[in-house]
């Protein structure tokens, strides 16, 4: 994870420096030019098996468990999970707009997802939380990205799982892959908010091999 973050920081620095050049604050050549980036490999072939999920889950506290369950059951991105809000609950549906794409989404409050929302609301009531955000910390305040990241790293380490084997972003891939296998590609695509099933196909095809039956 560190080498990817380093690449992002180099890009951010380079962008900020270029803006400074445009605004006339400096005429020095961008020092990020020629800096070798760390090699990044995609995680399309990473699938989080239930046993691995459960291992981390067992080492997590309520805050992280709420977050992990929400991300997996909804199939949404990190940012949308953090911004999930009580005001998104309308007539038995969780209704929101994806931050990255701006696409409106609606998820029925049913099954395990519906039970999760009830559990979260009850925990918030017990904490006398005043925020409308759904993912809250032990004090009832809206959980931050850093809080979730710190808790996840700790739970993953306690579970004895390598950082390359399980990252939070993998839960969206697990959700898509599991949904596609249980239903079909179109249903998985709709849950993730993809406009084209081709995007979903690229997203899930390498995570698990196609399930087949033996010769006999």
Mean pLDDT by 10 residues, the chain (216 residues): 66 80 83 71 74 96 97 94 97 93 92 97 97 97 96 96 90 89 83 77 68 74
Whole-prediction pTM: 0.76
Write the DSSP assignment of 133-179 as a string of letters: BSSB-TTSSBPPHHHHHHHHHHHHHHTT--TTT--TTHHHHHHHHHH
Please write the tens of the pLDDT for every residue from 81-113.
Answer: 999 999 999 999 999 999 988 989 999 999 999
Sign of the Cα pseudo-torsion (33, 36, 38, 44, in order): positive
Q: pLDDT tens digits, residue range 48-66?
A: 899 999 999 999 999 999 9
Q: What are phi and psi of 212, to 5 degrees?
A: -130, 170
Give the Cα separation of 203 and 206 in Å (integer): 8
CB 134 within 8 A of CB 86: yes
């Amino acid at each position: 994870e560190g080498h990817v973050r380093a690449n992002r920081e180099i890009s951010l620095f380079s962008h900020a420096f270029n803006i400074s050049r445009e605004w006339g604050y400096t005429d020095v050549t961008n020092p990020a030019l020629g800096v070798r980036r760390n090699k990044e490999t995609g995680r399309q072939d990473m699938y989080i098996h239930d046993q691995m999920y459960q291992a981390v889950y067992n080492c997590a506290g309520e805050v992280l468990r709420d977050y992990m369950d929400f991300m997996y059951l909804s199939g949404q991105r990190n940012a949308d999970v953090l911004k999930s809000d009580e005001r998104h609950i309308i007539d038995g549906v969780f209704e929101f707009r994806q931050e990255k794409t701006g696409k409106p989404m609606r998820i029925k409050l049913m099954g395990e997802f519906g039970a999760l929302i009830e559990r979260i609301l009850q925990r918030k009531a017990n904490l006398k939380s005043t925020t409308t955000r759904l993912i809250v910390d032990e004090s009832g305040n809206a959980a931050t990205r850093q809080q979730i990241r710190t808790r996840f790293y700790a739970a993953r380490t306690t579970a004895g799982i390598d950082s390359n084997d399980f990252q939070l972003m993998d839960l969206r891939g697990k959700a898509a892959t599991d949904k596609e296998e249980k239903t079909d590609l179109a249903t998985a695509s709709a849950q993730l908010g993809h406009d084209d099933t081709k995007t979903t196909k690229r997203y899930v095809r390498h995570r698990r091999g196609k399930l087949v039956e033996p010769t006999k």
